[in-house]
Structure 1
Amino acid sequence: MDLSRRDTALRELMDDPDCDPVALAATLRRFDTVNRVVSAWGTVWRRHLRPALERLDRPARVLDIGSGGGDVTARLARLAERDGVRVEWVGIDPDPRALEVARERARPGLQFRSTDSAALRATGERFDAVVSNHVLHHLGDAELRSFLADSRALSSGLVLHADIERGRIAYALYAAGILPLQRGTFLRTDGLRSIRRSYRATELRQTLASQGEWHVLRPAPFRVLAVGRERD
């Protein structure tokens, strides 16, 4: 397996509009377990998002772009509630199949909408922070530029885009570790394809260097985090 460069020609099964809807729904629901293990959002919440929201000293609004089945948005909402941080959470995704699953998690203070970042930006709506999980590796160059511009325009403060970091160890660990969860889902095939499409930290830094003030961190092993500077 050549992981020396991004394999951007790969397409994930769940991105096919004609994929098996039962397997897709099962994949989206099971992401909750997978992301708890691999996504490091607990760390990102403690180190980056919670401090930024606490400084507001008022209820905050946070947007999750490309929220998929809604598990990351819902997890962040639970962390905020546990820590006594008042937040209204909004997850957006243009795929109605994902929204159907995400809305199973909706509750007061946590909503999901069928839209994308460009359409939402056009409304003039703003948030105190914008986040995404596993979106960057899906995007081509032009799509990435638009996505970054949209996310900065939609946020009056912090922007956090988290993703996988490509590497042989990450690939091998995921290939073996996902086996107990993969039955009836696209988790193994799509997860391995996602790793092959994803950036290394150095690559992401180079890619973002021309896109304004972004910093790329490693919040956990096999993870990258693009951080947009908070506005004064």
Structure 2
Amino acid sequence: MPRPSIPQHHLLRRSAARPVATRPHSRPVVATRSLKTTSSTYSPTPSPSRQVSQPSTSTSTFTTINASEISHFSNLSSHWWDEDGEFKLLHRMNPTRIEYIRQKVALQPADEEHWSFEDRHRDLEKEAERGSGLWLTGKRCLDVGCGGGLLSESLARLGGEIVGVDASESNIGIATTHAQQDPQLSRKMSSGELQFRHSSAEALRDAGEKFDVVCAMEVLEHVDQPGEFMKCLGEMVKPGGHLILSTISRTPLSQLLTLTLAEDVLRLVTPGTHTYRKFVKPHELRRFVHSDMGGYNTWHKNEDASDIRTDEVGETRGIIYDPLAGKWKLWGGVEGTFWKDVGEGCNYMYHARKRI
């Protein structure tokens, strides 16, 4: 992949109205971070109980959601589908996020792939068919912090049964209204194959909801307790299922691009959207899944060079903005090399697959 220049856009993306954390007025630079949490004050929120086709109520009182964050993103909800507005770069990032999900879900090695001499002539044909068409058919997917439904709509069009959940009621209203304007998506909503719920990840977890694919795009850097939030997501992944995130690393480069340039100088993103100390480095995320989420007893080892690690679970890949092409691209590089670390210096993706 050609080395792109590092523009102010490199790190600008926004999650769907984040079920998220408080932003202080000042942004302290913190040298270290842990996803582990100890005690906290829980704010009671009503939660929906498990229903296959529609939301209902539950009695969960634990949440990582913060009211001021929800208010912040709710004020921006009307801009969700303006491709040249506040979420311009997120619209451009969406195809690259979908491609990463496709690589991890549709192109994964078959657990028990049938092979015989009789149909060996179809090997190339079968390989070409993988990851094409409605490759999410038969899979139930969760989009946490769905916002206006950008990722949820894309996943629904690929055949998945989608639940988009957001703590902002206005975002859910925007997502529902926009999807209803598309006849295909409207039919999926009528049949329950596409749902938008005003709720939280914790409420779905407490109600016993399970999914083949759990996504949380640009949410982790906004929650009050990232460790508890990660464990909540992991508990909702079915055996054999996938946990996929995108977030921001805590580096001087990310501080420069996301906070100084994007928010304070260029105002491409509303000031106060991000807080530097809440960013999580890739190795911190991988080590937390190993130490606090079951490690290799719960999650598969990677199938690439990163399997040499013994205390980290999951794959991370940088996602960078190429200003010449006007597109976001997945970054390459061999695990443990300087080149790979450079690509993960700002935005990055994370994937882990649960054992059966």
Q: Summarize the Cα distance change of 1:113–1:203 in structure 2 as closer, same or farther, 3 Å threshold.
A: same
Is residue 174 of structure 2 the alignment partner of residue 96 of structure 1?
no
The code of the aligned residue for 1:205 comes to: R
d(CA) in 2 for partners of 1:215, 1:41:
17
* TM-fit CA distance, 1:153: 2.9
Q: Which has the larger radius of gyration?
A: 2
- Which amino acid letter does the alignment assign opposite residue 223 of structure 1? N
Confirm whether residue 202 of structure 1 aligns to residue 283 of structure 2: yes
The DSSP-based 3-state class of the residue aligned with 1:100 is helix
Question: In 2, Cα distance between the equivalents of 1:121 and 1:20?
Answer: 23
In structure 2, the residue matched to 1:153 is 235
Query: Are residue 114 (structure 1) and residue 198 (structure 2) matched?
Result: yes
Name the amino acid aligned to 1:218. Answer: R
The question of whether the paired residues in 1 share the 8 Å contact of 2:79 and 2:87 is answered with no
- Indicate how the Cα distance of structure 1 residues 169 and 43 shifts in structure 2: closer, same or farther if over 3 A, else same: farther
For the residues of structure 1 that align with 2:237 and 2:218, how far apart are their CA atoms? 19
Where in structure 1 are there 5+ consecutive unaligned residues? none
Separation of aligned partners in 2, 1:38 and 1:4: 28
User: 2 CA distance for matches of 1:26 and 1:93?
Assistant: 15
User: Given the superposition, is the C-alpha separation of residues 153 and 137 from structure 1 closer, same or farther in structure 2, using an over 3 Å criterion?
Assistant: same
**In 2, Cα distance between the equivalents of 1:163 and 1:59?**
27
Question: How is 1:19-58 mapped onto 2 (pairs within 5 angstroms)?
Answer: 19=72, 23-26=75-78, 28-29=80-81, 30=85, 32-38=87-93, 40-51=96-107, 58=137
Task: Write the letter of the residue equivalent to 1:45.
Answer: I
Match for residue 152 of structure 2?
A: 73
Distance 1:13-1:4 versus aligned 2 partners, 3 A rule? farther
* Length-normalised TM-score, structure 1: 0.72
Greater per-residue helix proportion: 1
Residue pair 1:59, 1:86 contacting (<8 A) in 2 also: yes
Q: Name the CA distance, whole Å, in 2 between partners of 1:97 and 1:161.
A: 23
Paired with 1:20 and 1:48, the residues of 2 have a C-alpha distance of 30
1:187-229 per-position Cα deviation (integer Å, ceiling 9, x unaligned): 2314443x55211212223333322244141242422333232
- 1:14 Cα offset (Å): 6.2
TM-superposition CA deviations, 1:139-195 (whole Å, max 9, x none): 344x532x333323322211112212233333434454677774xxxx2314443x5
Amino acid at match of 1:47: Q
> 1:129 & 1:31 partners in 2: Cα distance?
28
State the identity as a percent.
22
d(CA) in 1 for partners of 2:213 and 2:98?
A: 16
Evaluate the alpha carbon distance shift between residue 180 and residue 4 of structure 1 in structure 2; reply closer, same or farther with a 3 A threshold. same
Task: Decide whether the 8 Å contact of 1:43 with 1:219 is kept in 2.
Answer: no
Q: Deviations over 1:117-145 (max 9, x none)?
A: 2222333332221111112122344x532
Q: Where does the alignment leave 5 or more consecutive residues of structure 2 unmatched?
A: 1-27, 36-65, 109-129, 180-184, 189-193, 300-312, 320-342
Deviation of 1:114 after TM superposition, in Å, equals: 1.4
CA RMSD of aligned residues (A): 3.7
Q: Which one-letter code corresponds to 1:230 in the other structure? A: K
